Structure 1
């Protein structure tokens, strides 16, 4: 098996776990966990995965993160393609399992942790503010990843820092957009739910990629 596909398998597994446990916590136990509990479900998933698949693929499990590393030329175009396809497939598999779990109870599947904005979602922010929020949250998340992984001396704590950063951007973002910062995590639930989630999902693809690109370019300029 080629090195690229080993990385792809690792990214598939990682994104599968992130979506199943993160979105699953929001969809099945959000009322009990609250925003803080959901935030830590996502963050702790990253902490665990970083130390398991980090040595294999870098534990991107997020097309926005891979995009930033591609911009920095730390990821080849071939690997970028493999990573994104694997992440999307892993996210869809995770959302699919979550859908099956909820559907097996006989309840209508109306919540898979999908992102959104507007009336009836969170505090009801506008489309423009949803775009701004997701760009900022992704910028902070990816900027942190680029910084902490730029020094090999941080390798022992990098997973913890990245996971806690994901948790704290969720603490703010959950009541605003549900917090995407990850196109794969957003697209998979939207595809299965359809309707409003699917019509709004472009925001949670475009904004994270813009935020990640800005983070990569900013970090490159500051490190010169």
Structure 2
């Protein structure tokens, strides 16, 4: 498989994840002050099902990382080259930004839409954001749930695992993570997914973006280092 085809697949997959997941949150589901419409269950399933759909669409091409935390963890685990890591992360971030751009264009077409703090499904914490959890809770949430997410990925893609079920298991685990983490941070566990919406939301979403880069990357690296305790890969 050519490198450019893999990078394009990663960009497309991340584009779809942001458009489906953040789109559900923005248009039909949840604001920074609380859930409405689809609510927490619907938003969680939107993100999880987006991963399932993309896993079976681009998985055979690129492995369907669509998340820099996954790509970095795979590189640390020796499953992705440094060259591909750079290509994957750039493509993922571009895809996320394009997904957020399309979502912005669609959302602003509604007369009732207003760009408020943490718009377009941006991640955040603190006063005014969903459950108003503090930075400590937000960091722990993103670190721990990214760690658990990567453990699922390492386990379901191990040699003795069933490859046909990997996409479904990974998507379900992401939905489960959203069930718990949405009220705390809006759920990132994916730096690219956070970067896209934050660029358009600006303000406090940009100021808080660092946490949604650092914590997921640290959680993913921690999983890569500890995986052999739990997984025979």
- Could you state the TM-score of these two structures normalised by the residue count of structure 2? 0.93
Cα displacement (A) at 1:109: 2.5
Structure 1 partner of 2:32: none
Distance in 2 (alpha carbons) for counterparts of 1:161 and 1:124: 30
Structure 1 residue ranges (4+ consecutive) displaced by more than 4 angstroms after TM superposition: 221-224
CA contact (8 A) 2:15 2:98 kept: yes
Structure 2 partner of 1:109: 115
Structure 2 partner of 1:185: 193
Q: Which has more helix, going by share of residues?
A: 1
Distance in 1 (alpha carbons) for counterparts of 2:231 and 2:110: 52
Q: Point out where structure 2 has 5 or more consecutive residues left out of the alignment.
A: 30-35
The root-mean-square deviation of aligned C-alpha atoms, in Å, is 1.2
Cα displacement (A) at 1:123: 1.0
- Could you state the TM-score of these two structures normalised by the residue count of structure 1? 0.96
Structure 1 partner of 2:205: 197
Distance in 2 (alpha carbons) for counterparts of 1:160 and 1:49: 10
Q: Which segment is superposed worse, 180-189 or 119-128?
A: 119-128
3-state secondary structure, aligned to 1:175: helix
CA contact (8 A) 2:154 2:231 kept: no
CA contact (8 A) 2:76 2:221 kept: yes
Count of aligned pairs between the two proteins: 223
Q: Equivalent of 2:57, from 41, 47, 52?
A: 52
Distance in 2 (alpha carbons) for counterparts of 1:35 and 1:151: 35
Structure 1 partner of 2:216: 208
CA contact (8 A) 2:12 2:95 kept: yes
Distance in 1 (alpha carbons) for counterparts of 2:57 and 2:106: 26
1:9 and 2:8 equivalent? yes
